[in-house]
Amino acid sequence: MKLVKHLLENKGNQIWSIEPDRSVLDAIKMMAEKGIGALLVMEGHHLTGIVSERDYARKVILQGRSSDKTEVREIMTDKVFSTGPDNSVEECMTVMTRKRIRHLPVVEGNSVIGVLSIGDLVKAKIEEQEHQIEQLQNYITT
C-alpha cells in the first residue's frame, strides 16, 4: 500500500501558492504558466484556502465579475481538506471522491509539505495494479 510520503518522494514537494489579496487574474496567469489547475492560498506559511479553475469559472466568469478587480479571497474555497504524509493513496482517493475535490494539500504539523492531485493518485493506483499483474504473471509462469 502506497503512502502519501512515497508519492511526494517521486513527485516532489513543489507548492504553488498565491496571497489572498492578489487579483484573480494573477492567479489564473500563474496557473496557466505552471500548467496547474489550482493554487494554494497562503498568508505567510498559513494555508487559508485553495483557488481553482473551477472557482474561476463559477465565481467570476458566470457571475460577470472582473478578473483584475476581484481578489482571490473573494472566490477561494476556504474550507480546505488536507491529508498527512502517512495516509494511504486509498484514503486520499476516498476523501477526494466524497468531497468532490481534485487537489489535496499534504500537511505535516502546521506546514504544507506538498499537494496531490487526483491525477497523481490515479497514476499511483495504476502503477500499483501493473506491479501486481506483473507479480502474478511471474508466479504463474514459474
Task: Return per-residue pLDDT of the chain as tens, 142 residues.
Answer: 789 999 999 888 899 999 999 999 999 999 999 999 999 999 998 999 999 999 999 999 999 999 999 999 999 999 999 999 999 999 999 999 999 999 999 999 989 999 999 999 999 888 888 878 888 888 788 7
Residue ranges covered by each domain of the chain: 4-141
DSSP-derived secondary structure letter, 31: H
Query: What angle, 0 to 180 degrees and rounded to 10, lies between the N-to-C axes of helices 89-99 and 118-141?
Result: 140
What stretches of the chain adopt beta strand conformation (E)? Answer: 17-18, 38-43, 46-52, 103-108, 111-117
Please name the residue that has the C-alpha cell 495504476: 126
Cα dihedral across residues 32, 35, 38, 43: positive or negative: negative
- All three cell numbers of 21, joined, read 489579496
Q: Which of 48, 27, 29 is nearest to 39 (CA)?
A: 27
Domain 4-141: CATH architecture, name and number where available? Roll (3.10)
